[in-house]
Amino acid sequence: MDKNRVEGAKHQVKGGLKEAAGKLTGNKTKEAAGKLEKNAGKVQQDVGKAADAARRPKH
């Protein structure tokens, strides 16, 4: 498994927690930062999936 998949998943979780904390406290800056980190994690995870697919042998 590509490291980008693992790191991307971590960023998604961390961003989701930040976003939730921002919503809970009314902190729009933290909420927006959480959304950005969550989306960056999704992109990073997709990059990892593509790298894994490229390494798979083609039959």
pLDDT tens figures, 30-43: 999 999 999 999 99
Three-state DSSP state, 41: helix
- The token duo for 50 is 């593509």
The helix (run of H) or strand (run of E) holding residue 6 is helix 3-25
Taking 80 as the threshold, does the pLDDT of residue 56 lie above it? yes
Stretch 6-18: mean pLDDT, rounded?
A: 97
Rounded CA-CA distance 53/59 in Å is: 13
- What pLDDT was estimated at residue 16? 98
Rounded CA-CA distance 52/36 in Å is: 24
